[in-house]
Amino acid sequence: MDRLAVYLRGSRVGTLIADERPGDYSFVFDDHVVRAGAGETVISVSLPVRAEPYGPLEARPFFEGLLPERGIREDIARNLRISEQNSFALLSAIGRDAAGAVVLLPENEEPSTAGTIDWLSDQQLVELIRRLPTSPLGVSGTSKIRLSLAGLQRKAVLVRSGDGTFGLPNESAPSTHILKPQYPDTEYNNLVYNEAFCMRVAECVGLSVARTELIFVGESPCLLVERFDRSTDGETRIRLHQEDLCQALGIVPGLKYEGEGGARFSAIFELLGDVSYRAGADVLALIRAIAVNFVLGNNDAHGKNFALLFGESGLQLAPLYDIVSTAVYPEVENSLAMSIGTELNATAVGSADLLELARECHLNPRQLADEWARTAARTAECAQSVAGLMRAEGLHVPVIDQIVELAQQRAGQLSPDSE
């Protein structure tokens, strides 16, 4: 197989063509797409519609962004007996249900949302969770599952029915939920509680976030995330298109950190100003999101942790996801994924860095500082209130107290009286 048909919302838009170099590929839009709108954004801001093919260097940021990262990618490749470096083969094998509304299929296949669902009993779901370390996303050599989802964390990608039953989507069936289990052998203690807490705090502050729920599968606590790039119309599951901001900015996943050439906040603000149909609201939402991530200690908030959602009215900032306080884990790199001003050391961030950030991003310095101070104070308040709610619900763990303490400390750094 040297060609993959690329579909968007069920309509073919182009072809992925294997390159002479193993694993590499080019992308070309179909003629009817070019005739309909040269220069338009169809699948990615970084790949505007044109007649000329996009070579490997241009095509890779978007399509590599559809694949899981590092360890998860290695495990899937091993299970499928594919070279981990062979991106084209991986996209061929697991490109039928990726993030957004893009589906990759052999040229002789037609897209369908009618793939079967293997509905799971409670015990089968427990067993699936147990196998995830060796079968990431549920993908194994004998599986009919053909899905892909970026990221590093162990997770199952599932369908959830109206009555709460979970199932594995087969072939081209769209998934609807992501299940992230807590494993007792991980060094990141109570990670699912951490993420559940941080997501609830961000929602309390007033940010748009992916819907999450802390559930138990057998004895294992799991974070259940409803996919915001999926919708349901009766019994029909519909894919909604999205791309993360590394894809939109043409940055390959391996360079997602600013220090490695990844996205800077200035580039993201500029992008939102250029492509969002509600740029003012999205710029304000991003300012608040940066403050919330900072206060909660999410030092790992890089370009792949923000996304654009393609709606009927145009592009807009997607709901926030993957908000985790990494600063409470000594094992995790403590520098910021994206600098505030020129500062990557979170403990050193102060008002001067906010002024530098405002200058770089062409924002009003006083308005930025005031908004950050308000959002930081509100985040610290919400951290305390959400901690109380989770305690009342029987979901409190020590890491939550650590995050609350950190939030108080970091909110103080952004207070107008701190310097």
**Residues that are catalytic:** 300
**CA–CA distance, 357 with 340 (Å, rounded to integer):** 6
Q: Are 378 and 346 in contact (CB under 8 A)?
A: no
For every residue of 218-248, DSSP letters joined together read: TTEEEEEEE-TTEEEETTEEEE--EEEHHHH
Could you tell me the two tokens for 309?
A: 């959602």
How far apart are alpha carbons 150 and 153 in whole angstroms?
Answer: 9
> Per the structure block, which two tokens stand in for 61?
């940021």
Q: In whole angstroms, give the CA distance from residue 40 to residue 314.
A: 12
Distances (CA, A) of 347 to 67, 77, 153, 375: 33, 39, 26, 18
Q: Who's near 54: CB < 8 A, 6+ residues apart?
A: 26, 27, 28, 47
Name the one residue in this structure whose structure tokens are 């978007």.
62
Alpha-carbon span 285 to 42, nearest angstrom: 24
Question: Please, how many CA atoms are within 13 Å of residue 282, restricted to the half-sphere of its CB?
Answer: 22
Contact 397, 193 (CB under 8 A): yes
Which value, in Å, is the radius of gyration of the alpha carbons in the chain? 21
The candidate with the shortest Cα–Cα distance to 212, out of 288, 220, 221, is 221
Instruction: Classify 316 as helix, strand or coil.
Output: strand
The torsion region of residue 314 among left (phi > 0), alpha (psi -120 to 50) and beta comes to left
